[in-house]
Structure 1
Amino acid sequence: DAGAGARAGAGAERPAGAHAEIGQVWPRDGHIRILGTIVSGGAPDEAPVDEPWTLRLTSRERRKAPVPSVTERLVNRLKRSVTRSAERTPPRLYLPVATDGAHFEAVVPVRDLAVRDALPREHWDLHLVSARGGRRLALRVGRHLDDMPGKKKIVNFPEQTEAGVAVLPYYTDGDHLSVRCARRGSAE
């Protein structure tokens, strides 16, 4: 029922106890592969959705970033003309998700986060998004159904670097999965 949901941002709901439970994370070969199960009330949730699940990555820093000054816009425009790069990276990225019942697989290409306009340090939060019964759903990706709280201090994933940007998945204090990106010096 609609009253059972908690607000999950941008008009979406997270039904009570629902999340995208991680089974495995494989950061290698230029990708971050995430395998897991859509869970509601501690059990796999195979209820049909109105549209395919999508992985949404939301930058904490880009949505707070100030509007660039005229000078910054001119410098950025010059850089884009020299590098022939696309427009500024949006604060949200969307990637396809493969599903089989309640099980999901999402693959994040490192190059999608190692962008030419990379911030010095940036954090991307991951949600599976869809709709059910006309209501938007946003389920946080994390690992909660094991006996190992505090993964941030226990689990370390390998860092991958592309185009001078280090990309590293990590668990947050709440055992959710996020990705940290950091620009590296030009010597790397």
Structure 2
Amino acid sequence: MKPHAEIAEVWPRDGRVRLTGRLHGLTVTTTGAWELLVTRRSHPEQRLRYPARLTDDRFEAGLPIADLVTEDPAALEEWDLHLTDGTAELRAGRQLDDIRGKKKIMVFPEQRIEGLSVRPYYTVKDNLSLECRTAGNGAAV
């Protein structure tokens, strides 16, 4: 299994999405700063970075959903989540449990802001991403 950021908890509330978990398959020897990297799938050059607190191999990070409001919103935008120290870029997901097909099983609550509905979700590969829908396109804002 490839090294990745194994998600333990996802907390979507109070205008933020907070994540906790462990780095899996990577020996953490660096003392450098780790970040939560949020990449807009349709425009991969658009990346948002947030500090991640790392203690041994455990991490905690979060982002304000207001930062996902874009000037050129599509009806549906997806943002992929990684943890990075500038050299390693680890996809955030949940691979180490016995639950397959989380996309259809685990449903997180949505949050609404400025005509946008934001909801964490698991992809078909059990990675964690964010789904953003604009008002009038499935978002009850």
TM-score of the pair, normalised by structure 2: 0.90
State the SS of the aligned residue for 1:106: strand
Unaligned runs of 5+ in 1: 1-15, 64-89
Q: Sequence identity of aligned pairs in percent?
A: 43
Partner of 2:96: helix, strand, or coil?
coil
Partner residue, 2:125: 174
1:98 alignment counterpart: 53
In terms of Rg, which structure is larger?
A: 1
Instruction: State yes or no: 1:158 paired with 2:109.
Output: yes
**1:38 and 2:23 aligned:** yes
Q: CA deviation at 1:114?
A: 2.5
Please give the secondary structure, in 1, of the residue aligned with 2:88.
Answer: strand
Structure richer in strand, relative to its length: 2
- Cα distance in 2 between the residues matched to 1:47 and 1:20: 12
* Larger helix percent: 1
- Classify the secondary structure of the residue corresponding to 2:74: coil
How far the C-alpha of 1:62 sits from its partner, in A, is 1.8
Alignment of 1:100-139 (within 5 A): 100-131=55-86, 136-139=87-90
Q: Which runs of 5+ in 2 are unaligned?
A: none
Question: Paired residue for 2:4?
Answer: 19
Which residue of 53, 62, 79 maps to 2:34? Answer: 53
Shift of 1:116: 4.3
| Letter of the structure 2 residue corresponding to residue 105 of structure 1 | E
Q: 4+ residue runs of structure 1 moved beyond 4 angstroms?
A: none
Q: With the length of structure 1 as denominator, give the TM-score of the two structures.
A: 0.69
- Compute the displacement of 1:50 (Å): 5.1
